[in-house]
A = this chain, B = another copy of it.
């Protein structure tokens, strides 16, 4: 039995972690951390958990948690995990950080985009970027996992094979992303009220969203050199789901079949990446509630560009599901343990 603690269990990503872990027999949640709801029953915050998770929310106490837990998930605002984690903690428990604190290797880039002083830069080098499809082996032996951002997960998986194979000019890469509202969190803000979001579509963070350097870093590894790209997220009136539409110039003429073979080579054996049939566009509804990422591409001969697409549930593969996938790797379990949910439709 794996003992798991969650710091930040009452945000949407934390709630999704609880949902996923509560369906397992081999994991026990021993700590429902929540600064906002200390001493309140977890099920009073998330009534779906009534009779399922009848525990009480507790304050953050990373040191004590490290003693009691085998794995600690931090689903907390930027900066908090970095301020709580330490060599001592890591010597006792695995840490999977769902925030951005350890995703970016260059601490200067992190501090510039997040406007936060990093509290434990000495641990950045050790942290492993928790995208199993790219870093499966490194994850298995890590102590500290930087669970990827939602947009970066979907963007990177959609674009990676073509960038890695040199089939696209990474300098022309434009990523236009669309996200459901759960990505904005559960904070009480006018901007996220039903009437403000419903029947509406808008871009935000234009030319400045903080997931940009994270995507650039991963695509840069694929391209073998630093990459600067355009990334624009949009808010869509739906609860869950991210859709990525990415554009880039092709470096050479290429057929559908050849490009399909590239994607299949990278993802054919991946449990959670589905390369769709020709001309079938990814849709968020087809992955909802599951850990899948659906990807596909369309070659546009007229413009010499390829359009790469990806769809994903932002709370599962984009957050909690990927964290569980990483936990499975850390503990030598089948990668899909507890992640066999069939996408729910409608």
Residues on A close to B: CB < 8 A?
A: 12, 15, 18-19, 22-23, 46-52, 172, 174, 176, 178, 180-182, 186, 188-190, 192-204, 206-207, 228-230, 232, 234, 236-241, 243, 245, 247, 274, 276, 280-290, 294, 298-300, 302-303, 305, 307, 309, 311, 340-346
Contact = CB atoms under 8 A, between A and B. Distances in A.
Instruction: Give the number of copies in the complex.
Output: 4
Contacts of A19: 342-345
Contacts of A290: 48
A198 B202 contact: no
B194 A192 contact: yes
B345 A15 contact: yes
B189 A188 contact: yes
A298 B283 CA distance: 28
Contacts of A201: 178, 180, 236, 238, 241, 243, 283-284, 311
Contacts of A200: 238, 241, 283-285
Contact of A345 (B46, B230, B245, B344): B46
B47 A280 contact: yes
Contact of A178 (B178, B241, B274): B178
A168 to B, nearest CB: 13
A193 B186 contact: yes
Contacts of A207: 298-300, 302-303, 307
B234 A303 contact: no
A150 to B, nearest CB: 14
A239 B206 contact: no
The interface centre, meaning the residue of A47, A206, A288, A311 with most chain B CB atoms within 10 A of its CB, is A47
19 contacts: A18-B342, A19-B342, A19-B344, A48-B290, A48-B343, A182-B346, A194-B197, A195-B239, A198-B238, A199-B238, A199-B240, A201-B283, A202-B281, A203-B307, A207-B307, A228-B303, A230-B247, A236-B237, A237-B237
Shortest beta-carbon contacts, A-B, top 7: A195-B346, A48-B343, A207-B300, A200-B285, A202-B283, A176-B176, A194-B197
